[in-house]
């Protein structure tokens, strides 16, 4: 599949925002993070800003972005529509939670309920985003049981990394947030390795014979291509990346998003003051960059079964 930059920005940025909102909605009402105005302004500003940037970027991939609102009406059958509906609804408790934290410097009672509802909305939205891809049976690399856990783990990882950075810069850096960031890095990339092993070991069950229903007559061969020139299907569904390039990019993603991020996260735990804050920020940046590379590969390595009609032997 063609890895559109708008979709990569959407999934990466929204993952950061919803992961951070989820943690804030749980940690502030329970007292793990103090309800201080400037800390709340920085944390909620980052969370809602990243979410809004991601959702805005997602509309750029539409043929008619001005009609994006119409997608909300198809929530009964479309995971894309469900994601949009839940994303819009989540703004309400998130906004109320932000007002309580920033304006009144409190996260008790109704404000706490709003925070917990915002966390729930963030969780459901990420699940809906992952299901947009996991529900597509025509793309075996996406129709995979590991897609939803990976999306959730990367949202948790990037959210935890930026939470650690914000707490070091605008509030009292906490050991639990630094340890959570390190643990989430291990979880996210561990699940990603499991996902890669699963898709690499799955050669696909669809063939030209099964796609055409002519298996009883023997091997089906392509007599002539459906089109003599490149078209939308070939650009969007037939994007190809060489195996050696994919392997190289996987190693780079692991080096940047896993190894470097884990080292910076460890430094944030082992140091204090500005060295710890600098390490936490670098961990958040490298983790986000690694996630963007992971998302690019998620799209680039996917193969739509329609390519069976263009000469592919399996999908």
As a whole number, the mean pLDDT across the chain is 88
DSSP letter (8 states) at residue 270: H
CA dihedral (213, 219, 224, 225) positive or negative: positive
Segment 242-269 mean pLDDT = 92
Q: Is residue 250 within 8 Å of residue 196, measured between CB atoms?
A: yes
Q: Is residue 107 within 8 Å of residue 100, measured between CB atoms?
A: yes
Nearest-angstrom CA–CA distance, 178 and 156: 13
pLDDT for position 215: 75
pLDDT tens digit sequence for 202-220: 776 677 777 677 777 777 7
Q: pLDDT band at residue 235, thresholds of 50, 70 and 90?
A: low
Segment 280-308 mean pLDDT = 90
Q: Would you say residue 284 has pLDDT above 90? A: yes
pLDDT for position 76: 84
pTM over 0.85? The answer is yes
pLDDT for position 77: 85
More confident residue, 264 or 306: 264
pLDDT tens digit sequence for 129-177: 999 999 988 888 888 999 999 999 999 999 999 999 999 999 888 999 9
* CATH value of 5-222+232-310 in 1.20.1630.10, 3.10.129.10, 3.30.70.20, 3.30.230.10: 1.20.1630.10
Would you state the torsion angle of the CA atoms of residues 293, 295, 300, 301, taken in this order, to the nearest 10 degrees?
A: 100
pLDDT for position 4: 83
Q: Out of 47-56, 97-106, 193-202, pick the least confident.
A: 193-202
pLDDT tens digit sequence for 96-121: 999 999 999 999 999 999 999 999 99
Using DSSP, state whether 304 is helix, strand or coil.
strand
Q: Enumerate the domain spans of the chain.
A: 5-222+232-310
Q: Is residue 49 within 8 Å of residue 120, measured between CB atoms?
A: no
Segment 221-227 mean pLDDT = 70
* pLDDT more than 90, % of the chain: 65
Q: Would you say residue 225 has pLDDT above 80? A: no
Segment 296-305 mean pLDDT = 85
Q: pLDDT band at residue 183, thresholds of 50, 70 and 90?
A: very high
- Angle ∠(232,71,155) on CA atoms, nearest 5: 85
pLDDT for position 97: 98
């Amino acid at each position: 599949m063609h890895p559109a930059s708008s979709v990569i920005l959407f999934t990466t940025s929204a993952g950061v925002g919803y992961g951070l909102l989820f943690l804030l909605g749980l940690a502030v009402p329970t007292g793990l993070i103090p309800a201080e105005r400037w800390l709340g302004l920085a944390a909620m500003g980052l969370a809602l800003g990243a979410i809004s940037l991601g959702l805005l970027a997602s509309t750029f991939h539409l043929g008619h972005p001005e009609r994006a609102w119409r997608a909300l009406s198809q929530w009964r059958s479309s995971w894309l529509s469900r994601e949009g509906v839940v994303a819009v609804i989540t703004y309400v408790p998130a906004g109320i939670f932000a007002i309580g934290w920033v304006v009144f410097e409190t996260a008790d009672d109704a404000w706490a309920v709003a925070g917990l509802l915002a966390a729930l909305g963030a969780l459901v939205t990420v699940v809906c985003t992952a299901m947009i891809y996991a529900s597509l049976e025509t793309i075996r690399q996406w129709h995979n049981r590991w897609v939803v856990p990976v999306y959730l783990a990367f949202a948790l990882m990037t959210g935890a990394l930026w939470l650690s950075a914000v707490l070091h810069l605008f509030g009292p850096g906490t050991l639990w947030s630094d340890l959570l960031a390190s643990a989430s890095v291990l979880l996210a990339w561990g699940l990603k390795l499991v996902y890669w092993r699963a898709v690499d070991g799955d050669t696909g069950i669809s063939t030209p014979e099964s796609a055409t229903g002519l298996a009883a007559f023997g091997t089906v061969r392509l007599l002539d291509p459906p089109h003599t020139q490149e078209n939308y299907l070939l650009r969007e569904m037939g994007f190809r990346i060489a195996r050696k390039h994919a392997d190289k990019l996987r190693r780079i993603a692991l080096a940047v998003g896993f190894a470097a991020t884990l080292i910076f996260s460890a430094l944030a735990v082992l140091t204090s003051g500005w060295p710890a804050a600098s390490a936490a920020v670098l961990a958040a940046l490298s983790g986000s960059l690694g996630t963007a590379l992971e998302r690019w590969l998620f799209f680039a390595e996917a193969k739509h079964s329609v390519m069976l009609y263009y000469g592919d032997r399996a999908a």
